[in-house]
Structure 1
């Protein structure tokens, strides 16, 4: 991630003082961050540097971090590239919008776990049915987290991180746990906010707030209903998917809910289609289609299909999922 980027920059630039890295989570308040930025700027001027790169890691763990950066930019108008990173989405706190007019050509990049094709390429093996199946089986356990492959992250670490992010968002860990458990029990069927609220014993408003928070944390994504004529119905029941297999495994341990192949495979296919096409929907009437995009209609089957589907619907069987994901 960031360290690899810095390593690459060090090979290109002449003066290493052009790069400043600081992990913000050790600070007590945003004023300290502002003072640190001022001190680096003095150092930069003393070295006669024109351009520089400022890396601030874990900014979202410092309350009001954005105030320090905003005031610094307004006061010094630095000719610098800022790289602000954090384990909690910056949109999640609604603070990325505060930099309107100050971003220049900057972008907000959400780093997601690896897709299956990206994951497969790490192993440098030939794209054969046997190797695809073998590595996909491993992907079901580790998901796209490099830390899991490197054995530096376990399910407990993901659960602790999730709990911490919920507390930062002023959300109850217990309510979130019960909502996630209900999603696992209902999956892969569509469900309503009311049904979750009744099962968990909270208001519909609370369910909506928690689901929005979990979506902004990139834990969940909702799959809305689309009719065959292309109309989307936001008020109909929706499907809810967890966005990575390892995350699914971790939440399963946390909630003590079973992972079934039917919804795990469906979630994986939906996530990959979402990354490819930007949106994915479902259809259900006389028959169900798990995944609808503007180009594809796919029904994911962990077992044998029990009915016939129209010719334009792809029936994606378990053994064909790895090749399909790789072909996207």
Structure 2
């Protein structure tokens, strides 16, 4: 059965790559270059479903095959069809036997969507501890960073030269350069309008993904960990109702009729599925106040559209603009906070203090606060 996932063993083309080459809009993802191909390495790729993890893995496989004499040294398997870690162990045992029979010194093993598999980490820990693949490169992908973080201590000292790589939708800048080489204000506005519709999902741009399909995938992830999709919908609905204002866990708990602990758990799941980002309060004294109310943002325009469809909510442009700037600053600086006193600052990140408005502001802000309206957004995001 393993040969079905590895058509290059018999000189055939990979179907995913054939489909990729037919797409109108394509890009070689930069994150692929971060994966360590130096043995021994255990790499993790995490990111939302349909964000391009599988395509990126297949493009990396294509590059490896160009530089290897034995195609059997590259092994790919989709773990979605397996039931548990015992099944995974049998698949790895089968490939190990093939590898030894063909006297392959170094192999490249790709296990796709492994975090959907119950007990996956047990199988990986087992094969590493028994040195089954001590001269090899392992690349594991999953749609949730939660299980990676849960078992990070399990793999402490077992990753070799491996990396953990997060895969996110394209930024506005990345999307713009799919269409134009140089930034022009008029073109920036044109592509920004497109970005509001498609987000950074190439699958959406190529008409291969719709909102209800992303909702279905996220619901599947909740069901896989035996959590209520109805409560998940209620939590997201509450987030939309309060956006773009800060709110407390208690206020969401009141909306949903469940405990604060349950709300925290479901928000954490959304965060680990790369759907939500939580923003804490930061005072002008540079102190972070974790007990103050949080802001919760949807991390991409298409994610926001999909979650709004699920929760039966409208998306207002003012908070969509704010979310976009907050996410881009977070990707740039690895941090994002907000401030509110006599006036509010939506985004504190690095040396930036940014307030985002859908129209012209009705009040004055301190000189060190950059106030952006919708006309300013494309150029700001491009220059970031």
TM range (shorter): over 0.9
What residue is the counterpart of 1:220 in the other structure? 276
Mapped to 2, the partners of 1:281 and 1:56 lie a distance apart of 36
CA contact (8 A) 1:300 1:315 kept: yes
Deviations 1:115-145 (A, max 9, x none): 1111111123431001111011001111111
In the alignment, which of 239, 250, 253 is matched to residue 183 of structure 1? 239
**RMSD after superposition:** 1.3
What residue is the counterpart of 1:326 in the other structure? 382
Shift of 1:31: 1.5
Shift of 1:103: 0.5
Mapped to 1, the partners of 2:313 and 2:321 lie a distance apart of 16
CA contact (8 A) 1:60 1:90 kept: no
In the alignment, which of 67, 76, 79 is matched to residue 122 of structure 2? 67
Does the alignment pair 1:45 with 2:100?
yes
Shift of 1:89: 2.7
Deviations 1:164-192 (A, max 9, x none): 11122322111111111111111111111
Name the SS of the counterpart of 2:139 in structure 1. strand
Return the TM-score normalized by structure 1.
Answer: 0.97
CA contact (8 A) 1:90 1:96 kept: no
Mapped to 1, the partners of 2:377 and 2:161 lie a distance apart of 39
Is there any run of 5+ residues in structure 2 with no aligned partner, and where? 1-55
CA contact (8 A) 2:96 2:132 kept: no
Name the SS of the counterpart of 2:105 in structure 1. coil
Moved more, 241-250 or 197-206: 197-206
Shift of 1:17: 0.9
Name the SS of the counterpart of 1:14 in structure 2. coil
CA contact (8 A) 2:238 2:256 kept: yes
CA contact (8 A) 1:290 1:298 kept: yes
Deviations 1:83-128 (A, max 9, x none): 1112233536723432122110101111111111111111234310
Mapped to 2, the partners of 1:96 and 1:24 lie a distance apart of 20
Does the alignment pair 1:15 with 2:70?
yes
CA contact (8 A) 1:92 1:217 kept: no
What residue is the counterpart of 2:253 in the other structure? 197
What residue is the counterpart of 2:32 in the other structure? none
Does the alignment pair 1:119 with 2:119?
no
Mapped to 1, the partners of 2:221 and 2:84 lie a distance apart of 18
What residue is the counterpart of 2:52 in the other structure? none
Does the alignment pair 1:3 with 2:62?
no
What residue is the counterpart of 1:231 in the other structure? 287
Mapped to 1, the partners of 2:369 and 2:377 lie a distance apart of 15
CA contact (8 A) 2:282 2:339 kept: yes
What residue is the counterpart of 2:336 in the other structure? 280
Name the SS of the counterpart of 2:110 in structure 1. strand
Instruction: Report 1 or 2 for greater relative contact order, CA contacts < 8 Å, sequence distance ≥ 6.
Output: 2
Name the SS of the counterpart of 1:97 in structure 2. coil
For residues 13-162 of structure 1, the aligned pairs below 5 Å read 13-78=68-133, 79-89=135-145, 91=147, 94-162=150-218
CA contact (8 A) 1:125 1:131 kept: no
In the alignment, which of 221, 225, 243 is matched to residue 299 of structure 2? 243
In the alignment, which of 346, 352, 355 is matched to residue 296 of structure 1? 352
Name the SS of the counterpart of 2:179 in structure 1. coil
Mapped to 2, the partners of 1:259 and 1:87 lie a distance apart of 25
Mapped to 2, the partners of 1:47 and 1:92 lie a distance apart of 32
CA contact (8 A) 2:115 2:147 kept: no
Shift of 1:77: 4.2
Return the TM-score normalized by structure 2.
Answer: 0.83
